[in-house]
Chain A
Amino acid sequence: MYNLTIAEIAAGLRAKKFSSEEITHVFLTRIKQYDARLNSFITVTEEAALVAAREADQHYANGTAGLLTGVPMAQKDIFCTTGVKTSCASHMLDNFIAPYDATVVTRFKQAGMVMLGKTNMDEFAMGSSNENSYYGSVKNPWDLTRVPGGSSGGSAAAVAARLTPMATGTDTGGSIRQPAALCNLTGIKPTYGRVSRYGMIAFASSLDQGGPLNRTAEDAALMLNVMAGFDEKDSTSVDRPVPDYSATLNNSLAGLKIGLPKEYFVKELDPQVAAAIDAAVKEYEKLGATIHSISLPNVHLSIPAYYVIAPAECSSNLARYDGVRFGYRCENPKDLEDLYKRSRGEGFGAEVKRRIMIGAYVLSAGYYDAYYLKAQQIRSLIKNDFLEAFKQVDVILGPTTLSPAFKLGEKADDPVSMYLNDIFTIAANLAGIPGMSIPAGFVDNLPIGMQLMGNYFEEARLLNVAHQYQKVTDWHLKIPGGF
């Protein structure tokens, strides 16, 4: 039962093959059994999950169940949940229990889905390896000596190991797509503004976007149907109708124009990854797509622009963690300044502090124009690159990462090498376009991901393109050994 997809679980519940309580119990048991190895959950809400599951079963008995009632899922510990700790994997919020639900959480509750718990992540979503968690590193189920990617590493590891059929993630520079690639999952970062950010703890407000981590595109479509939509509580959410993402999954790809950006096929790219992407391209040709070489001339500036804009926003977003009203407070502060310095110094981890300092620096008087403004100009150039590209092609295809999962600790002391992990994913965040990563093969028994990027609000097309590929391949069906 643990290997069922969301679509299959929903069908099973409707057909009364099993109850929500039974399937919920299956996953709770697996979490108990396997998560000591992975460390993918920060909080498991066993009792609440079983209560919710029984309620769901009641709905089935009464005939009031919806499409997804009773299907288990997990929330990244960045989404606020009433009455359940929301830590953002930080010592700073180890004691924080929100008095409200994030809009995304509300939507899953309204859909009747059952939350199993809250997943591990890089502290405040800052990281690409999930080694920056106050609650310890998450292990990749495909190789326990390797990282699962980050920052949504707990969500990715949990879904890959079949501890939950899906989990939410957030993506500021690749935090859904990169762990999806490293854990053999399907993950989609929607258009900026498509999914509400209300109650989703901010890292970099102009880049953050929530999305699902699933095993299949079909499931991703179901989950995005739940998550997407306008929210009056988020001024940057877009008031625009949400299509039924499941409805167009089976559209034909005949005549689809796929662009391969030459800037994504660089010498640093692992040749085996390149070969896997080439093979995927051939599959698409077989499905009737045409392949075009395109250029995104400014995309090489993504990382420097991102590592100005994201830290700038984070330095301000994280100013509220000051030890005054909630969260970590140092012992016996001698005065206000001491309270601030020690609460923040002790409450934040090294990477978070590094980014706050970078951000404060690039915004400070005399540096603002040279860094922040310049980075915003680059951002406009990158956005234009994509707008130009989408005049020629329907989707852009490339690798999600340079190489498969690296070893735990391998890049921990080299932030720049770590930052390069997001080299292919960051551009979509800067431009605000949707991007997704789907399984595209294995290199030395480690999964690798293929990235698809689409024009604004073309999530449906990306899911369609991904689903058609998954119909003719079986990478996404592989299960990590030992789980």
Chain B
Amino acid sequence: MQWETVIGLEVHAQLATKSKIFSGAATAYGAAPNTQACAIDLGLPGVLPVLNTEAVRMAVKFGLSVDAHITPRSVFARKNYFYPDLPKGYQISQYELPIVSEGYLDIDLEDGTRKRIHIERAHLEEDAGKSLHEDFQGLSGIDLNRAGTPLIEIVSKPDLRSAKEAVAYLKALHALVRYLEICDGNLQEGSFRCDANVSVRPVGQKELGTRAEIKNLNSFRFVERAINYEVERQIDLIESGGKIKQETRLYDSDKNETRAMRSKEEANDYRYFPDPDLCPVVVAPEYIEQIKHELPELPQQKRERFQNDYQLSSYDAGILVSSRELANYFEQVVKLSEAPAKLVANWINGELAAALNKHNLEITESPIAVERLAGLLKRIHDNTISGKIAKTIFETLWNSNHTADEIIEQQGLRQVTDTSAIEKMLDEVIAANPQQLADYRSGKDKLFGFFVGQAMKASGGKLNPQQVNDLLKQKLAG
């Protein structure tokens, strides 16, 4: 039987507010345990939550960027359950009336097609603290620094059909929240987390299969692996006569498998009801208009502009817009170098990306700032150096503070474009290789490359390749 995979994602993005969603405590990551938890975060008797309006602004910003409906009057509700890292015994969330509903995000698939993924809702809520099970001799430690950090939970419709689509959607969402500057997107620190609802059904069947919810997915790679594992597990189970249970499963990245959580851990009736300590969140139309004007150019718009204005391929544009910082870097290099955009894109997506990747750096941490890369590409474009020489200069740029021009001067790397000088060198090469010349002239065309190589080697790669080609052709022809 042919099976179809159906996936919906629930993404938790921590909002980049300075203080918590219902208290004045700081949200910075990495502070000593329990140093960023005030009386409100600790759930002490008598304290009350007060909504941080910055969190609302960010949620509205997100909603507008996915063309969603902004609820004029959304309501905070209490989700009741006991856990040591949940100080009040309930999480303040939104339930029946989330602030954002009915939006969508378009994603570009590998085959070049575009797919619309619908977003059912996005709601505001507070994060819980953390339970630390190591280093306490059999006891658990509780760190409430994270308790009360604002989150938006973004829930997609079950529109995704493969692990690859899920990752594409997740990456698009990740880029979006960073563009909007509402989330730092740090997966390792848990600022951007994902749960996946996965089911399978026979191709052509309309009803959805029973789904499993996979938790604990904190990297794009794990999302892909966990979904693929889970799909296979479900198909195997059904094909061997079993039945899928609706359950919560944990992904174990060490073993690359998902396994069911104990039923006790999930058998919760959350007893949601509107939080009587908080008034409904009223968002006025004028406020929405104001935020609309504050929206930056979004990844999808930028990608289209890059394709149109710079004549870039969809692939190149897609990579460059994956972060706002990278896209800005690209545009500044184009402007400063006055080199063709395609050349700039190749260098950024090629040499620079490889080097950054190798050293595990973000574009913002690149040792080669915009001006220095632009200086290099400018010299390629005006034929001062060849692309090949440029690659060696790039390495020097990476490891030093010099400009490309300084390196070219210091190391004498300027390209030789003087015809007579090139001719002189070609004549020497031809004279030194009479046998190869004879072979070439008797029809071994492939030896052309041999002569180019010899000339380049003799000149230390500094000859202009195009001129070498043209002149060599004439000379070899005799």
B residues 376-390 with Cβ under 8 Å of A? none
Most buried by A among B82, B90, B142: B82
Inter-subunit contact A372/B278 (CB<8 Å): no
Instruction: Give bound CA distance, A312 to B39, whole Å.
Output: 24
Q: A415-430: contact bitstring with B at CB < 8 Å (1 yes, 0 no)?
A: 0000000000000000
Instruction: Give bound CA distance, A365 to B44, whole Å.
Output: 28
B340 contacts the other chain (CB 8 A): no
Closest chain A CB from B125 CB (angstroms): 15
Inter-subunit contact B50/A235 (CB<8 Å): yes
Inter-subunit contact A100/B39 (CB<8 Å): yes
**Using Cβ atoms and an 8 Å threshold, which residues of chain A touch B82?**
319, 322, 340
Give the residue of B51, B80, B87, B279 whose beta carbon is less than 8 angstroms from that of A316.
Answer: B80
Instruction: Give bound CA distance, A365 to B42, whole Å.
Output: 28
Residue of A nearest to B273 (CB): A363
Inter-subunit contact A236/B46 (CB<8 Å): no
A residues 237-276 with Cβ under 8 Å of B? none
Inter-subunit contact B271/A316 (CB<8 Å): yes
Most buried by B among A102, A199, A235, A372: A235
| Given known A-B contacts A340-B82, A364-B269, A206 and B46 have beta carbons under 8 A apart | no
Inter-subunit contact A360/B46 (CB<8 Å): no
| Given known A-B contacts A99-B39, A320-B89, A325-B87, A360 and B271 have beta carbons under 8 A apart | yes
A234 contacts the other chain (CB 8 A): yes
B204 contacts the other chain (CB 8 A): no
B132 contacts the other chain (CB 8 A): no
**Using Cβ atoms and an 8 Å threshold, which residues of chain B touch A368?**
271-273
Closest chain B CB from A316 CB (angstroms): 5
Inter-subunit contact A235/B46 (CB<8 Å): no
Inter-subunit contact B277/A236 (CB<8 Å): yes
| Given known A-B contacts A319-B90, A336-B84, A312 and B273 have beta carbons under 8 A apart | yes
Q: A364-381: contact bitstring with B at CB < 8 Å (1 yes, 0 no)?
A: 110010001000000000
B49 contacts the other chain (CB 8 A): yes
A residues 83-103 with Cβ under 8 Å of B? 86, 88, 93, 96, 98-100, 102
Inter-subunit contact A363/B84 (CB<8 Å): no
Q: A146-162: contact bitstring with B at CB < 8 Å (1 yes, 0 no)?
A: 00000000000000000
Inter-subunit contact B84/A205 (CB<8 Å): no
**Using Cβ atoms and an 8 Å threshold, which residues of chain A touch B89?**
316, 318-320, 322
Most buried by A among B39, B43, B47: B47
Q: B244-285: contact bitstring with A at CB < 8 Å (1 yes, 0 no)?
A: 000000000000000000000000010111001111000000
Instruction: Give bound CA distance, A232 to B47, whole Å.
Output: 12
How many B residues, CB 8 Å from partner?
Answer: 28
Instruction: Give bound CA distance, A340 to B49, whole Å.
Output: 24
**Using Cβ atoms and an 8 Å threshold, which residues of chain B touch A363?**
80, 271-273
Instruction: Give bound CA distance, A326 to B45, whole Å.
Output: 9
A382 contacts the other chain (CB 8 A): no
Instruction: Give bound CA distance, A298 to B135, whole Å.
Output: 60
| Given known A-B contacts A205-B277, A235-B50, A235-B51, A320 and B45 have beta carbons under 8 A apart | yes
Inter-subunit contact A197/B39 (CB<8 Å): no
**Using Cβ atoms and an 8 Å threshold, which residues of chain A touch B50?**
232-235
Instruction: Give bound CA distance, A312 to B274, whole Å.
Output: 11
**Using Cβ atoms and an 8 Å threshold, which residues of chain B touch A198?**
46-48
Closest chain B CB from A43 CB (angstroms): 15
**Using Cβ atoms and an 8 Å threshold, which residues of chain B touch A233?**
48, 50
B residues 424-457 with Cβ under 8 Å of A? none
Give the residue of A197, A316, A325 whose beta carbon is less than 8 angstroms from that of B48.
Answer: A197
**Using Cβ atoms and an 8 Å threshold, which residues of chain A touch B39?**
99-100
**Using Cβ atoms and an 8 Å threshold, which residues of chain A touch B61?**
none
A residues 332-375 with Cβ under 8 Å of B? 336, 340, 360, 363-365, 368, 372
A202 contacts the other chain (CB 8 A): yes
Instruction: Give bound CA distance, A235 to B43, whole Å.
Output: 16
A195 contacts the other chain (CB 8 A): no
A-B pair count, CB < 8 Å, reads 102
Give the residue of B45, B88, B277 whose beta carbon is less than 8 angstroms from that of A98.
Answer: B45
Most buried by B among A102, A236, A318, A325: A325
Closest chain A CB from B471 CB (angstroms): 81
| Given known A-B contacts A235-B51, A363-B80, A319 and B45 have beta carbons under 8 A apart | no
Q: A89-125: contact bitstring with B at CB < 8 Å (1 yes, 0 no)?
A: 0000100101110100000000000000000000000
Instruction: Give bound CA distance, A324 to B142, whole Å.
Output: 10
Most buried by B among A79, A234, A319: A319
A313 contacts the other chain (CB 8 A): yes
Inter-subunit contact B46/A199 (CB<8 Å): yes
Inter-subunit contact A319/B47 (CB<8 Å): no
Inter-subunit contact A372/B273 (CB<8 Å): yes
Instruction: Give bound CA distance, A125 to B159, whole Å.
Output: 51
A431 contacts the other chain (CB 8 A): no
Residue of A nearest to B43 (CB): A320
B78 contacts the other chain (CB 8 A): yes
Inter-subunit contact A324/B84 (CB<8 Å): yes
**Using Cβ atoms and an 8 Å threshold, which residues of chain B touch A138?**
none
Instruction: Give bound CA distance, A204 to B275, whole Å.
Output: 11
Instruction: Give bound CA distance, A202 to B48, whole Å.
Output: 9
A220 contacts the other chain (CB 8 A): no
A201 contacts the other chain (CB 8 A): yes
Residue of B nearest to A90 (CB): B45
**Using Cβ atoms and an 8 Å threshold, which residues of chain A touch B45?**
80, 86, 88, 93, 96, 98, 201-202, 320, 326
Inter-subunit contact A326/B44 (CB<8 Å): yes
Instruction: Give bound CA distance, A88 to B88, whole Å.
Output: 17
A residues 200-216 with Cβ under 8 Å of B? 200-202, 204-206
Inter-subunit contact B48/A234 (CB<8 Å): yes
**Using Cβ atoms and an 8 Å threshold, which residues of chain A touch B278?**
235-236
Closest chain B CB from A371 CB (angstroms): 11
Closest chain B CB from A329 CB (angstroms): 12
A residues 50-104 with Cβ under 8 Å of B? 79-80, 86, 88, 93, 96, 98-100, 102
**Using Cβ atoms and an 8 Å threshold, which residues of chain A touch B43?**
320, 325
Closest chain A CB from B21 CB (angstroms): 12
Instruction: Give bound CA distance, A316 to B43, whole Å.
Output: 12
**Using Cβ atoms and an 8 Å threshold, which residues of chain A touch B46?**
79-80, 86, 98, 102, 197-202
Instruction: Give bound CA distance, A197 to B49, whole Å.
Output: 11
Q: B20-47: contact bitstring with A at CB < 8 Å (1 yes, 0 no)?
A: 0000000000000000000100111111
**Using Cβ atoms and an 8 Å threshold, which residues of chain A touch B78?**
316
Instruction: Give bound CA distance, A102 to B48, whole Å.
Output: 11
**Using Cβ atoms and an 8 Å threshold, which residues of chain B touch A206?**
276
Inter-subunit contact B279/A236 (CB<8 Å): yes
Instruction: Give bound CA distance, A467 to B43, whole Å.
Output: 41
Closest chain B CB from A238 CB (angstroms): 10
**Using Cβ atoms and an 8 Å threshold, which residues of chain B touch A98?**
44-46
Inter-subunit contact A313/B42 (CB<8 Å): no
**Using Cβ atoms and an 8 Å threshold, which residues of chain A touch B49?**
235
Residue of A nearest to B89 (CB): A319
Instruction: Give bound CA distance, A312 to B48, whole Å.
Output: 18
Closest chain A CB from B32 CB (angstroms): 17
| Given known A-B contacts A205-B276, A206-B276, A316-B80, A365 and B47 have beta carbons under 8 A apart | no
**Using Cβ atoms and an 8 Å threshold, which residues of chain B touch A319?**
80, 82, 88-90
Residue of B nearest to A231 (CB): B48
Inter-subunit contact A235/B48 (CB<8 Å): yes
Q: Which 4 pairs between the two chains have the least Cβ-Cβ distance?
A: A319-B89, A206-B276, A363-B271, A205-B276
Listed in ascending order, the chain B residues whose CB lies under 8 Å from chain A are: 39, 42-51, 78, 80, 82, 84, 87-90, 142, 269, 271-273, 276-279
13 A-B pairs in the complex with CB atoms less than 8 angstroms apart: A198-B48, A199-B46, A200-B46, A204-B276, A236-B279, A320-B45, A320-B89, A322-B82, A322-B84, A325-B43, A363-B80, A364-B271, A365-B271
Listed in ascending order, the chain A residues whose CB lies under 8 Å from chain B are: 79-80, 86, 88, 93, 96, 98-100, 102, 197-202, 204-206, 232-236, 312-313, 315-316, 318-320, 322, 324-326, 336, 340, 360, 363-365, 368, 372
Besides A99-B44, A100-B47, A236-B48, 5 other CB < 8 A contacts? A198-B46, A202-B46, A204-B276, A318-B89, A363-B273
